[in-house]
Amino acid sequence: MTAEDPMLARSQAMATLIRATGDDPARPGLAATPERAARAHAELFDGYDVNPQTLLAEAMEAADGYGGLVLVRGIRLYSHCEHHMLPMEGVVHVGYLPDGHLLGLSKIARAVEVLTRQLQGQERLTKEIADMVEKVARPKGVAVAVAARHHCITERGVRQTGSDTVTLITRGVLDSDPGLRRDFLGLCGLGGS
């Protein structure tokens, strides 16, 4: 067996998918589509080639006395659910209370993006982000909140167009200290009464 060109395999799969929708991948309007769609697909799922933890560890620095909450809010989430391979869109908020080490702010967003460019489950994504921050920064506490709309819920089946899903993980002092926990939730716009 010869080694398969992954791009060719992708583009053949796209042509098969077009045929399955009932259209003709050879008609003029679609002639270049399998190849184009294959490139788009490769880009949307390029999170398998990067280790987000390594990326995050690259830009650590000494906290230099700063011991307050660090919160990166509103990181854009665009991913695909592992159940239907349909888009989920939303935001990710990552907070931690440093214990001597600060993470690069842009690296946090970039590491989250890497994880979103894989087939994902929202609950798993939330946990993977928390694990990653915990392992790399060894903070006093970490909190991750994700709010997302799943197209498998809004565009098919029950068609709950107004519904979104919120997942939340709090650990360490961000879990045990009610004040810090409240600060995190409030700053993320998730604070209740």
Query: What is the residue type of 14?
Result: M
47/111 Cα distance (integer angstroms): 9
φ, ψ for residue 9, nearest 5 deg: -60, -40
Q: Give the binding range for Zn ion (CB under 5 A) out of 28-36, 83-91, 92-100, 132-140.
A: 83-91
Q: Give the binding range for Zn ion (CB under 5 A) out of 41-49, 81-89, 126-134, 136-144.
A: 81-89
Q: Is 15 in the site for Zn ion (CB under 5 A)?
A: no
Q: Is 84 in the site for Zn ion (CB under 5 A)?
A: yes
Around Cβ 61, how many Cβ atoms within 10 Å?
A: 9
Q: Is 152 in the site for Zn ion (CB under 5 A)?
A: yes
- Point out the residue whose Cβ comes nearest to Zn ion: 152
- B/e letters for 7-41, b = 16+ CB within 10 Å, e = fewer, are eeebbeebbeebeeeeeebeeeebeebbeebbeeb
Q: Is 81 in the site for Zn ion (CB under 5 A)?
A: yes
Beta carbon of residue 84, minimum distance to Zn ion (angstroms, whole number): 4
Inter-residue contact 92 to 108 (CB < 8 Å): no
Beta carbon of residue 184, minimum distance to Zn ion (angstroms, whole number): 27
Please state whether beta strands 70-81 and 119-120 pair in parallel, antiparallel, or not at all (unpaired). parallel
Question: Which of 73, 84 has the CB closer to Zn ion?
Answer: 84
Beta carbon of residue 88, minimum distance to Zn ion (angstroms, whole number): 7
193/186 Cα distance (integer angstroms): 10
Question: Which of 1, 158 has the CB closer to Zn ion?
Answer: 158
Q: Which of 19, 36, 76, 83 binds Zn ion (CB under 5 A)?
A: 83
Q: Give the binding range for Zn ion (CB under 5 A) out of 1-9, 65-73, 78-86, 94-102.
A: 78-86
